[in-house]
Amino acid sequence: MAEASSSPRVVIVGGGFAGLFAARMLARSPVAVTLIDRAEHHTFQPLLYQCATGILSEGKIAAPLRQLLARHRNVEFVIAEATGIDADRRQVLARRPLGEQVEFGYDYLILAAGVRQSYFGHDEYAPIAPGMKTIEDALKIRRRVFGAFEMAETATDPAERARWLTFALVGAGPTGVELAGQIREVATKTLRKEYRHINPGDARVLLFDGGEAPLAMFGPKLSGMAARQLGKLGVELHMGSIVTHVDPGGLEVKDHDGTVTRHLCGNVLWTAGVEAPPLATAVAKATGATQDRAGRIVVGADCAIPGHPEILVTGDVMSLDKLPGVAEVAMQTGIYAGRKVGHLAQGKSFDKQFKYRDLGSAAYISRGNAVVSAFKMNFGGFAGWWVWLFIHIGFLTGYRNRIGAVLGWWFAFTRDIRRERTFTIDDMPLVAGQPYGSALGPAAAATPVSSADPET
């Protein structure tokens, strides 16, 4: 589809951290770059949970890709969904918004397509229990969280009211912990004086995970710190619990003893597990590449698919040395891929292998509390919270977004004001064919079902 050019053609699939940083690295190289993405914006995914809980608007954590690339005259952006490649003809196969099939020729391909939410073989849970990978996901969760309080306010049945005020989150990694803490802060701080018939502080937040502790990847010290702080917030931890069933009325979980317990709740939010998109499988079939258990493409130390040095895989969709799926890995692999392609396009050799520099991780727990693991230091509390603030300000894309985020945090953290929670009754979605406000299931907080495993 791209116009013919005498310059080497580089196609980048994905406008996340990896794709954006690769495009920027190629901005001054003698190449013609086409960046393809199904969204017109770049999203700062680590702050999606703050969009979902009313602190930040979607505009403060996203930026139009065309605006970000406007100064780079050799880079063009195309909104389309890449569906596969023809490795022999060096063509990326894609679908335009209305379904038209198009092709993009390449001399070098940088795959930065990211990952999607994994339901571990139960994709039927997706309409009931939304994940949080995109702006659309965050807005859906926002409507459901704030909509649940509205449903509880007008409910006349105490059991129905209790159900709407119960939120279940599946997955106690950073996203699950951050979202759980924020829902409790919404209930106990932001909404505490706004309702006449309910006490928002009665809202229950249940956090389920198959592991032994929240934020286990941060180590026992910080994990324990997070567990204690979540307990103070009122988050109910259900560790060692495997979700076996989800429906519009709640979910069922199995503990270590094999006992299955049903929990009734108005909202189930899914923050556990990721998997590669179908594009990764299509690329693997076209190139003979190997995929890991999550479907990510296994690459060599040069980020290239073995046997196809012209195809580089970056970011979350890449499987290399068990690197974590975090923004810093995506940024560094994007920079590496852009630098490598820039050299090769000029006929220069590039034998340097990719080496990840771990700059640490941070997770927000609650106002004034965060945990940080960086440079062999593990700390949390107020100091961790300040480090978290500076890290996220620095990584946000664009000065306007940084200023907007600081202002949003100021009002939320000092005055309990969250203005980004606009929705109407028409926005309240259907759940598995049921009206959002319908009463579902019998009234009980937690009911043992059986010791049998209902999974198929």
Give the residue numbers marked as catalytic: 178
Contact 222, 373 (CB under 8 A): yes
**Count of H helices and E strands in the chain?**
11, 26
Residue whose tokens read 């990847």: 217
Q: Distance between CA atoms of 78 and 417, rounded to whole angstroms? A: 38
Token pair belonging to 124? 């039927």
- Kindly give the pairing relationship between strand 204-209 and strand 166-170: parallel
DSSP for 60-94 reads GSEEEHHHHHTT-TTEEEEE-EEEEEETTTTEEEE
Q: Residue 187 CA to chain centroid, in angstroms?
A: 23
Task: Determine the residue type at 342.
Answer: G
Supply the DSSP symbol for 133: S
Token pair belonging to 183? 């829902």
Residue whose tokens read 């043992």: 448
Residues constituting the chain: 456
Least Cα distance to 242 among 257, 253, 252 occurs for: 253
Token pair belonging to 135? 């702006």
The CA distances from residue 323 to 97, 279, 327, 329, 355, in Å, are 33, 20, 11, 7, 11
Task: Determine the residue type at 294.
Answer: A
Q: Distance between CA atoms of 168 and 252, rounded to whole angstroms? A: 11
Token pair belonging to 167? 């939120």
Q: Distance between CA atoms of 64 and 400, rounded to whole angstroms? A: 12
Q: Distance between CA atoms of 186 and 191, rounded to whole angstroms? A: 6
Q: Distance between CA atoms of 13 and 33, rounded to whole angstroms? A: 11
Local structure of 289: helix, strand or coil: coil
Using a 10 angstrom Cβ sphere, with 0-12 exposed, 13-18 middle and 19 or more buried, the burial of residue 332 is buried
Torsions phi, psi of 304, nearest 5? -100, 155
Torsions phi, psi of 42, nearest 5? -95, 130
